[in-house]
Amino acid sequence: MTAPLLETRNLVIRFGGVIAANDVSLTITAGRNLAIIGPNGAGKTTFLNICTGWIKPSSGQVLFEGEDVTPLPPRAIVRKGVARAFQIPQLFTEHTALENLLIAVAARDRLRNPFMDLHRIPERDEMMHLLEMVKCADAAHRPVVELPEGQRKLVDIAVALALRPRLLLMDEPTSGVASSEKHRIMEILVEALAERKVTSVFVEHDMGIVERHAEEVAVWNAGNVQLRGTPREILDHPDVIRDVIGEAV
Amino acid sequence: MTHATEPDKSRQGRPAGGPSMAGTVLPLAGLALLALVPLGAPGMQLLVNLALAKGLAVAGVSVLLRAGQVSFGHALYFAVAAYAGAFLMTALPGADLALVLLAGLLGAVVAGVCVGLFVVRYRGIFFGMLNLAFSMIFWSFLEKFYHITGGADGIRLPRPAVLGMDLDRASFELVLFYLTLTLVLGLGWATIRWLASPAGQIFQTLKTNETRLEYLGVSPRRALLWGYLVSAALCGIGGALMGVTQGVVTPEYAWWIRSGEMVFIAVLGGAGSVRGAFVGALIYELVRTYASAYAGDVWQMLLGGFLLVIILFAPRGVIGMIETLAHRGEARK
Ligand SMILES: Nc1ncnc2c1ncn2[C@@H]1O[C@H](COP(=O)(O)OP(=O)(O)OP(=O)(O)O)[C@@H](O)[C@H]1O
Ligand SMILES: [Mg+2]
């Protein structure tokens, strides 16, 4: 049996009186997209923070492809093939959307030539296509600071994708995106991920999207995984209807 | 990058590679004009030479401004390089000018690594003040260890040879002037290119989002260290040139007012602009020299007032005003 893509073992972290991770053990299998759902403050973002080394758990382990990455800084985990899109987009606001992607490529490939213009790197067209894919081609040459929140979220995802990860963690990828666009963009995104053999984990509040695009669902509650199963099993579960879906409605 | 003070090639429809008015033509015209100074206005030759040497150091400070960091201690590298040159001349009388400059560069880079490894852990006011602290320590070292450094009197720097030749004073000054001009052109160009390159752009992202940088697999501290070394190297070459031009180096080179002056000139010329650093340095030295010739302390008032006007009405500095005018001129064509 091959090791799971990502595995956490008994993660615990406490912020003051809040237990944001309470003995979280979860495996993520390559090729199976996992949706994380759960009420506000359940610890979903904290889980992504721990998996990527941003926050160190007080106990427990994170393994990526069987290797213990718990002590590593985010940049080292990223280099192993984990990319992240954030709940609040993390972009270079004075740079254009395209430049954000070009910089991601420059970082990925450690481009050092001091006399080559960033705009002249061979991947420029590829990055333009990536922006088109997330429907942000019109934003390519505008500084990120001028973009609406929804577009920034999509550019943030494109930046993560530009790293060519094997695992992509997305925190509410389409929040802030107009609901008329949401489904279409998720459709394109999931297809592109499959094509590139990228496994995704996404935190999502929209149950329609979860149902359509996740192969598995994990329900977070009070810092732990309360339930895990296929979208059908989870969305029909009475506890989920009461605690999560009920709240969203 | 949408930086205000460098002309932006990426967004405009201008065909790639064509020289722009503000970016290329004006700076080259300016340099050509300066090249005529020894012939047309020999009285200003020394002043321009010193201003350009200082401009190189200011360009170093400007590089850091691109990453959103202000150093209030960069006179450290200016002084380290000048003293490194002076020590070399003391140890090897008659050494070549190129060797003096190399010694200065090496000194500045070595100091940059030592101090840099420490200061890149800090940002904002802490970064600025730590740099200041290191420069003050070096200043008191220069003052107190007079058996090594000559104390407050400093070290005399005899005229170095140029490619093996011993030149008389006038010829040496002429060589130095054109060498400085060449270095301004070469290093200015190289710095602008580096800032536009992948590594230079990564360095500038420190200004807006270190979290994303970390999540691109890059160490923000290491990115800052590279830029810090570029800035120390520029300051160093400026300082070494200043040392040979003046023929004497004193602890005043490391004095904190010198560091503040570099930041002042950077903002005056256009914060973060390499071209602005030289324009700012020329204006600064001209105003200082000619205004103080008329009345005692009037130059500080003039420059202070000028800076006030810049910050309030033209935050992109003098170079920003020049570029706006140039773009307008181009648009009208
Ligand atoms: N760095 C931190 N310092 C202190 N408290 C934190 C920190 N990060 C998270 N918390 C707390 O931990 C709890 C879980 O937060 P987390 O952001 O993981 O929730 P979430 O499930 O992502 O919620 P949401 O759906 O609102 O994004 C919250 O009570 C939050 O206030
Ligand atoms: Mg969250």
Ordered by start, the domain boundaries in chain B are: 44-254
Q: What percent of chain B has pLDDT over 90?
A: 75
Interface predicted TM-score (ipTM): 0.95
Q: Is pLDDT above 90 for B164?
A: no
Ligand 1 atom nearest the C-alpha of A172 is 27
Nearest Cα neighbor of A223 from A7, A57, A5 is A57
pLDDT interval class at B24 (50, 70, 90): confident
What confidence score (pLDDT) does residue A174 get? 86
What confidence score (pLDDT) does residue A16 get? 93
Mean pLDDT of chain B: 91
Buried-state track B29-45, b at ≥16 Cβ within 10 A, e below 16: eebeebeebbeeeeebb
Q: Is pLDDT above 70 for B333?
A: no
What confidence score (pLDDT) does residue B22 get? 75
A82-164 shares the fold of A1-79+167-249:
yes
AA identity, residue B174? L
Q: Whose CA is nearest to atom 29 of ligand 1?
A: A41
Contacts of B207 in chain A (CB under 8 A): 94
Q: Distance from A249 to chain B by nearest Cα, in Å?
A: 33
Q: Distance from B231 to chain A by nearest Cα, in Å?
A: 15
Across the interface, whether the CB atoms of B10 and A52 are under 8 A apart is answered no
Contacts of A96 in chain B (CB under 8 A): 2, 10-11
d(CA A108, CA A121): 13
8 A C-beta contact, residue A198 and residue A161: yes
Kindly identify the ligand whose nearest atom is closest to the C-alpha of A40.
1
What confidence score (pLDDT) does residue B1 get? 47
Q: CA torsion sign, A200 to A203 to A209 to A214?
A: positive
At the topology level, CATH places domain A1-79+167-249 in Rossmann fold (3.40.50)
pLDDT interval class at B16 (50, 70, 90): very low
Scanning chain A, the segments in alpha helix (DSSP H) are: 44-51, 74-79, 97-108, 124-133, 149-162, 179-195, 207-213, 231-235, 238-240, 246-248
Q: Is pLDDT above 60 for B9?
A: no
Whether chain B has a CB inside 8 Å of the CB on A73: the answer is yes
d(CA A129, CA A158): 10
pLDDT interval class at B12 (50, 70, 90): very low
Cα angle: A104, vertex A46, A243; to 5 degrees: 125
Q: What is the CA radius of gyration of chain A?
A: 18
What are B49's two structure tokens? Answer: 């030479």
B301 vs B284, higher pLDDT: B284
Three-state DSSP class for residue A16: coil
What confidence score (pLDDT) does residue B276 get? 96
What confidence score (pLDDT) does residue A218 get? 96
Q: Distance from B201 to chain A by nearest Cα, in Å?
A: 7
d(CA A192, CA A176): 21
d(CA A221, CA A242): 12
Question: A174-188, B113-127, B159-173 — which is least confidently predicted?
Answer: A174-188
Across the interface, whether the CB atoms of B208 and A95 are under 8 A apart is answered yes
Residues with a CB atom less than 6 Å from ligand 1? A 15, 18, 20, 38, 40-46, 87
Q: Is pLDDT above 50 for B155?
A: yes
What confidence score (pLDDT) does residue B218 get? 98
Q: Is pLDDT above 90 for B291?
A: no
Q: Is pLDDT above 80 for A96?
A: yes
Across the interface, whether the CB atoms of A114 and B200 are under 8 A apart is answered yes
d(CA A135, CA A150): 11
- Please give the residue of chain A at the shortest CA–CA distance from B203: A103
Q: What percent of chain A has pLDDT over 70?
A: 98
8 A C-beta contact, residue A22 and residue A224: yes
What confidence score (pLDDT) does residue B11 get? 39
Across the interface, whether the CB atoms of B215 and A115 are under 8 A apart is answered no
Q: CA torsion sign, A207 to A213 to A219 to A222?
A: negative
d(CA A116, CA A109): 14
Instruction: Write down the pTM of the prediction.
Output: 0.93
pLDDT interval class at A247 (50, 70, 90): low
What are B260's two structure tokens? Answer: 């503040």
| Tens digits of residue pLDDT in B37-68 | 999 999 999 999 999 999 999 999 999 999 99
- Domain residue spans in chain A? 1-79+167-249, 82-164
Cβ partners under 8 Å of residue B192, min gap 6:
B6, B274, B275
Mean pLDDT, rounded, for A200-207: 94
What confidence score (pLDDT) does residue A1 get? 54
Q: What CATH code would you report for A82-164?
A: 3.40.50.300
Q: Is pLDDT above 90 for B3?
A: no
d(CA A100, CA A105): 9
Helix axes B97-119, B124-144, angle to 10 degrees: 130
Mean pLDDT, rounded, for B227-232: 98
Report in angstroms the alpha-carbon separations of B81 from B93, B162, B240. Answer: 17, 19, 5
8 A C-beta contact, residue B301 and residue B100: no
